[in-house]
């Protein structure tokens, strides 16, 4: 693998490898861009088949974080970490403390958080060694579970999409299918229900379905049928890649707006096909930014009200993206990417592009 060629093609600033024979840690941190501030992104633990697979994953994910932070208006850059290992077997306090020391060594250029394969407990072990960690429990001064803020942001995004596509200010009487009733999906259902939407829900976990059916009047749909429902809005809140070249021709919805990461299997191709089929797509990293907004808020001393207020702005951000997409005759996916890049370029011309991050934990407010 030609590392520098990979870094150049994706625009990365830094790739750091960490090896600790005593804890067994094999970790990689990728810092994509720190123009807006320190690079923030979760630490994924995964049993990668090859080192190359781990490198590609951390490069891809860290670049995504640059765009997500930029479009959310945060003064943060994009970064990500991966630990090569089996999260079910290889986790120890020693391993995460070791990872924490390496993060500390990056001197604030990268701030970590939980991700797939890691949890709050792991981050608390990281915190023993470094303050450059976020998304920890309330008892340790953190913000706790980000899902309520994520769900609120998704709700705002759905409202913006409805305004754009159907010119309505309310969700009353609109049919919405929700796939996945976990942390985000269950909170989202409560917002949609209160607004008078007609809900079609599913989950592969029967307990989650029963929990929701006991609380709200909704129609249960088998997991394999949820995407085929004749609804106004499809809200994927479980897996990625549910929207792909096979499923798009079967979709009957007018809007796709949900919390799941990587909703589109092939973003460029699929977003064009959605547009052709007259389906409005709310870009995933824009509409689900509430989680990032929440952990970013923690860095300044957690203020729940402020976090919700910031997530509310997802409405305006999406309206801006829809407007740009129409004006420039591009997909909403491309409009979101351009919007995120524009903000970075604007700051980068004021300062040097890859300026070294100041030795301070505070997010810059300039
Ligand atoms: P979660 O694990 O709590 O919930 C996911 C739910 O989806 C589970 O109840 C699971 O049983 C269900 N599910 C899995 N496969 C399914 C299938 N094939 N059909 C129907 N249901 C299925 O996860 P979450 O925290 O609610 O996150 C949901 C999605 O939103 C994920 O893609 C996540 O990456 C994304 N996201 C979450 C946050 C957050 O703050 N939690 C922030 C940004 C993005």
Q: Give pLDDT tens digits for 167-210.
A: 999 999 999 999 999 999 999 999 999 999 999 999 999 999 99
Alpha carbons 81 and 59: distance in angstroms, whole number? 9
Q: Judge whether residue 106 has pLDDT over 50.
A: yes
Residue 352 reports pLDDT greater than 80: no
Nearest-angstrom CA–CA distance, 154 and 68: 14
Residue 100 has pLDDT above 90, yes or no: yes
Closest Cα to atom 20 of ligand 1: 203
Q: How far is the CA of 147 from the centre of ligand 1 (A)?
A: 10
Residues in contact with 233: Cβ distance below 8 Å, sequence separation at least 6, in sequence order: 158, 161, 162, 174, 175, 176, 177, 253, 254, 255, 256, 257
Testing ligand 1's pocket by substitution, the residue of 155, 238, 262, 294 carrying the most ligand atoms inside 8 A of its CB is 238
* Top-confidence residue, 359 or 298: 298
| CA of residue 112 to ligand 1 center, whole Å | 21
Average pLDDT of the chain is 93
Buried b (16+ CB within 10 A) or exposed e, 316-335: ebbebbbebbeeeebbbbbb
Task: Give residue 349's pLDDT.
Answer: 64
The model's pTM: 0.91
β partners of residue 33: 78
Handedness of CA 52, 59, 358, 134 (dihedral sign): negative
**Two tokens at 47?**
């049993």
Q: Is 63 a catalytic residue?
A: no
Take residue 238 and report the two structure tokens written for it. 């479980």
Phi and psi at residue 68, to the nearest 5°: -65, -45
Which residue, judged by its Cα, is nearest atom 2 of ligand 1? 182
Q: In angstroms, what is the span from residue 358 Cα to ligand 1's centroid?
A: 36
- pLDDT tens by residue, 288-338: 999 999 999 998 888 999 999 999 999 999 999 999 999 999 999 999 999
Tokens of 289: 């930014």
What lines the ligand 1 site, CB under 6 Å?
146-147, 150, 179-185, 202-205, 208, 223, 237-239, 259-261, 288, 291
Atom of ligand 1 nearest to the CA of 288: 43
The Å distance, Cα 92 to ligand 1 centre, comes to 25
CB hemisphere CA count around 200 (13 angstroms):
22
The average pLDDT across 143-147 equals: 89
Mutate to test the pocket of ligand 1, among 46, 182, 296 (most ligand atoms within 8 A of CB): 182
**pLDDT > 90: what percent of the chain?**
88
Q: Shortest CA distance to 264 belongs to which of 245, 291, 286, 250?
A: 245
- 40 DSSP β-pair partners: 78, 111
3-state secondary structure of 32: strand
What CA dihedral angle connects 234, 135, 114 and 33, to 10 degrees?
90
Above 50 in pLDDT, residue 354? no
Given a cut of 60, whether residue 361 has pLDDT beyond it is no
Q: Which among 10, 60, 55, 63 is positioned nearest to 39, based on CA atoms?
A: 63
Give me the mean pLDDT over the 52-73 stretch: 95
């Amino acid at each position: 693998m030609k590392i520098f060629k990979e870094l150049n093609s994706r625009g990365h600033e830094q790739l750091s490898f960490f090896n600790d024979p005593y804890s067994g840690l094999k970790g990689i941190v990728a810092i994509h861009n720190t123009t807006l501030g320190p690079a923030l992104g979760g630490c994924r633990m995964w049993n990668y088949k090859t080192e190359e697979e781990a490198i590609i994953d951390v490069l891809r994910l860290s670049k995504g974080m640059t765009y997500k932070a930029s479009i959310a208006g945060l003064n943060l850059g994009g970064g990500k970490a991966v630990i090569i290992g089996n999260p079910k077997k290889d986790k120890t306090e020693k391993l995460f403390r070791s990872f924490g020391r390496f993060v500390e060594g990056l001197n604030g250029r990268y701030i970590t958080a939980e991700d797939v394969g890691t949890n709050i407990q792991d981050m608390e072990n990281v915190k023993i060694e470094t303050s450059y960690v976020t998304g920890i429990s309330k008892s340790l001064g953190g913000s706790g579970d980000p899902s309520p803020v994520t769900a609120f942001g998704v709700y705002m995004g759905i409202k913006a999409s409805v305004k754009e596509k159907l010119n309505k200010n309310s969700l009353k009487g609109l049919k919405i299918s929700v796939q996945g009733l976990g942390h985000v999906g269950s909170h989202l259902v409560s917002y949609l229900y209160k607004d008078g939407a007609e809900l079609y829900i599913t989950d592969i976990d029967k307990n989650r379905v029963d929990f929701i059916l006991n609380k709200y009047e909704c129609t249960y749909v088998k997991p394999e049928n949820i995407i085929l429902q004749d609804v106004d809005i499809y809200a994927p809140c479980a897996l990625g890649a549910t929207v792909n070249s096979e499923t798009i021709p079967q979709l009957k919805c007018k809007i796709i707006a949900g919390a799941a990461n990587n909703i589109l299997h092939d973003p460029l191709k699929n977003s064009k096909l959605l547009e052709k089929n007259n389906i409005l797509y709310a870009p995933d990293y824009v509409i689900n930014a509430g989680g990032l907004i929440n952990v970013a808020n923690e860095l300044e001393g957690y203020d729940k009200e402020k976090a919700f207020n910031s997530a509310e702005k997802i409405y305006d951000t999406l309206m801006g993206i829809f407007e740009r997409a129409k004006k420039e005759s591009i997909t909403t996916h491309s409009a979101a990417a351009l919007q995120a890049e524009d903000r970075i370029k604007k700051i980068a011309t004021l300062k040097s592009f890859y300026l070294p991050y100041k030795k301070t934990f505070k997010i810059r407010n300039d």
